[in-house]
Structure 1
Amino acid sequence: MKQEQAWYLLPDEAHIETPSLIFYEERLKANINLLKSMIDCVERLRPHVKTYKCREITRLLISAGIKKFKCATIAEAEMLAMDKAPDVLLAYQPVAENINRFFKLKSKYPDTVFSCLVDHLKIAEQLSAMAIEEQTEVDVYIDLNVGMNRTGILPEQAFALIESLQRFISLKVKGLHAYDGHIHDGAIEVRKEKSAVVIKQLSDLREKLEAYLGNDINIVAGGTPTFPIYASQTDFECSPGTFILWDKGYQDAYAEQPFYPAALVASRVVSLPDDGWICTDLGHKAVAAEKELKNRVFFINAPFLEVQSQSEEHLVLRNNTPETYLPGDMLYGLPYHVCPTVALHEKAICLKVDQSLEYWEVISRKRKISI
């Protein structure tokens, strides 16, 4: 990484609109290379695209040899297919109209193999009926609840569901999916201990299913916090997402994963309402606001500013240092939670490796692209 000047500074700063989302291409590429170095085979990588939501980063991942992806919405799946991502797992059980949209994806983008999650027989029946009508087949992964208590079925219930699915000749059980977002402890040893329980559950179930089905069963598991554990201790496909952009929350929590912050929010001072008080244009609409005030954004070029309040269009800060700020001064903020922050922006300004600037559309922040 270049160290000649602060990495985050943008050329022609005076003409940068704020608030804006900024991507840094050199750091994006460095994070992809670091991810690949942490696993024995690139074929085991299935990154989750919910973090970045734009085609240009998809192209960087594909050009790096990554061919499998995971997503959470139909729009994210379509975004991937627009660049002919070979293998896309919709990590969501489609229901109602989204079943129709899923089949429209399959029809419109034949160069991409789509699969989805299933955890209920009713949905399996609906998928099967639509597959027969469309004269196609559907690859499905059984979604398991391994402790997150959000979606999926308990591992001990999976065998009975898969037995029931055998009557649907249009459905093909490709594997098991398990998201372990409840394992997010700071200490890696604690995460290892908790992950060991999940690893055993998944491995035991896979062995039983392979004996029953007579074919290999794939396992897609984990997110960023447990990625290094599954990468080194299993043969599972791994689905980190935040790695590509990184954020303050994960930077503070997971020191064993030295990814580079590659996305910032640019903000400007817009008013000085009183001595030591600064108002910027970084409101709820520009940075994720689900965390407590002090854990929403960290200004890397003004680390001692203290957040006092935030509204839709404004962020008020307290300056307890001798440093002075004037209206128009630029602040570069590292979000604590980058995924929902990205979804607040229609476009990102990308600082390219050659120091030029491009606008990248955050295309799958939308609920619908064309389908």
Structure 2
Amino acid sequence: MEQSAVLDEKRDLPVPPVPVETPCFVILEDEVVFNLRQTARLAGGIGRLMPHVKTHRAPWIIEMMIREGVLGFKTATPAEVEIAAEAGARLIVWAYPTANQANIRRVANVARSHDGLRIEAVVDSYEGLHAWQSELASGAGNVGFRVDLDPGLGRTGVPIDEGAIALARAMAVAGHFAGWHVYDGHITDADRAEREVKLARLINAVRKLMADVSAAGLSTDLIAAGSYSFNIWSAEVARWVSTGSFTFSSAQHSSDLGDIGWRIAAYVLSTVVSVGRDTATLDAGSKAVSPDIPVTSRFVGPGPIKMIKEEHAVIGTNSLRVGDYVALTPRHACTAAYLYNRALVRTTAGKWEYRTQLGANR
């Protein structure tokens, strides 16, 4: 049976013109480049961006971003630190605090084995600082520490007060203090005016802290922001903005951040394997698309989601046939990309080729 491509009428996602094993993660390289340049323009320049590797986990994307002028990268896991270093990154921030000695040693070894590389670790406790000091006693002068500030997210970080400055002083005494990190991922209002009100309070608190930090003779170098705030933090306060999952964008960005102009740059290609009365069953289940999102919101496709199991999703529709290809736009592209160790890429030259990515390796 000849397979046809079925897309949501509001989107224009090119489906591969050749038979493809599904489910398949598909990346549109030209749209990735567009999203990067659009983000750089809104952030005030490419040199201010610190993209997060966890959002795509693809070495070739890191290499492309370096060619475009990106100077630094955030990472979530030791494996991401490793692939960023191998791709040629010169500044890598491991943005998740830990006191796990084995993980710390793995990241420190990346610093030791790459000349010209600077690694900065985010720290939010004296236990974490001591764990790093213990590891670095045997060398690795190209490692620095950043104090992680809690902006109200309640996940990691120290309060924005004198205690943060005390921790920074301890890092400075150790000879490894590099600056600050604050991620405001809890501020995700679709209305920009509401975001700005909440962010103003946070930015003012950080600005006051940085004034005290400067008076104490410490660096005020700050990495801030996420997808919903990167174009609101001023360069006066934050040297860097880490722009979250702009690389591929997502169905969530399309609905909440349409004014930014990001384009869908990745999706999951699925095949219709069965049809019922007003339903179609796809071969892309919880192991294929955004497992961290509530079931009925995991992707946007040609019909509402009725059910998702490990290997299948059932959507409401009466317009699909068995064998049709269906393009599914993830609600959260980061956790869709994490499920695949290779992606089918439509290159900027218009060719289709498979490229490797990190998949679920940590």
Whether these two folds match at TM > 0.5 is yes
Q: Is 2:222–2:237's contact at 8 Å kept on the other side of the alignment? A: no
Aligned equivalents of 2:321, 2:216: Cα separation in 1: 69
Structure 2 unaligned runs (5+)? 1-10
- State the match for 1:310 in structure 2: 308
After TM superposition, the structure 1 = structure 2 runs for residues 141-156 of structure 1, keeping only pairs within 5 Å, are 141-156=146-161
Aligned equivalents of 1:289, 1:353: Cα separation in 2: 30
After TM superposition, the structure 1 = structure 2 runs for residues 322-333 of structure 1, keeping only pairs within 5 Å, are 323=319, 325-333=320-328
- Structure 1 residue 91, shift from structure 2 partner: 0.2
Q: 1:145-166: CA deviations, max 9, x gaps?
A: 1100000110112012223334
- State the match for 1:298 in structure 2: 300
- State the match for 2:262 in structure 1: 259
Aligned equivalents of 2:278, 2:112: Cα separation in 1: 59
- Structure 1 residue 107, shift from structure 2 partner: 1.1
Q: Does 1:163 align with 2:172?
A: no
Change (3 A) 1:10 1:291: closer
Change (3 A) 1:232 1:190: farther
Aligned equivalents of 1:326, 1:173: Cα separation in 2: 60
Q: Is 1:268–1:280's contact at 8 Å kept on the other side of the alignment? A: yes
- State the match for 1:3 in structure 2: none
Change (3 A) 1:295 1:231: farther
Aligned equivalents of 1:233, 1:87: Cα separation in 2: 21
Aligned equivalents of 1:165, 1:353: Cα separation in 2: 45
Aligned equivalents of 2:172, 2:53: Cα separation in 1: 31
Q: Does 1:237 align with 2:240?
A: yes
Change (3 A) 1:220 1:117: same
| 2:61 aligned counterpart, secondary structure | helix
Letter in structure 2 aligned against 1:357: W
- State the match for 2:8 in structure 1: none
| 1:283 aligned counterpart, secondary structure | coil
Q: Does 1:116 align with 2:121?
A: yes
CA RMSD of aligned residues (A): 1.7
Q: 1:262-300: CA deviations, max 9, x gaps?
A: 00100010112x32221110111100133233211111x
Q: Percent identity?
A: 26
- Structure 1 residue 172, shift from structure 2 partner: 2.0
Aligned with residue 70 of structure 1, among 74, 77, 95: 74
Q: Does 1:50 align with 2:48?
A: no
Aligned with residue 283 of structure 2, among 281, 284, 287: 281
Change (3 A) 1:137 1:331: closer
Aligned equivalents of 2:60, 2:118: Cα separation in 1: 20
| 1:155 aligned counterpart, secondary structure | coil
Aligned with residue 172 of structure 1, among 148, 169, 176: 176
- State the match for 2:332 in structure 1: 337
- State the match for 1:79 in structure 2: 83
Q: 1:24-67: CA deviations, max 9, x gaps?
A: 01101111111121122322111111110001111111111011
Q: Is 1:54–1:361's contact at 8 Å kept on the other side of the alignment? A: yes
Q: Is 1:95–1:123's contact at 8 Å kept on the other side of the alignment? A: yes
What TM-score do the two structures reach when normalised by structure 1? 0.90
Q: Is 2:112–2:140's contact at 8 Å kept on the other side of the alignment? A: no
Letter in structure 1 aligned against 2:258: A
Q: Is 1:94–1:102's contact at 8 Å kept on the other side of the alignment? A: no
Aligned equivalents of 2:279, 2:39: Cα separation in 1: 41
Aligned equivalents of 2:267, 2:176: Cα separation in 1: 42
Structure 1 unaligned runs (5+)? 1-5
Change (3 A) 1:28 1:316: same
Change (3 A) 1:307 1:129: closer
Letter in structure 1 aligned against 2:260: Q
Letter in structure 2 aligned against 1:276: D
Letter in structure 1 aligned against 2:81: A
- State the match for 1:134 in structure 2: 139
- Structure 1 residue 183, shift from structure 2 partner: 0.5
Change (3 A) 1:165 1:291: closer
Q: Is 1:10–1:351's contact at 8 Å kept on the other side of the alignment? A: no
Aligned with residue 221 of structure 2, among 218, 221, 240: 218
Aligned equivalents of 2:125, 2:44: Cα separation in 1: 34
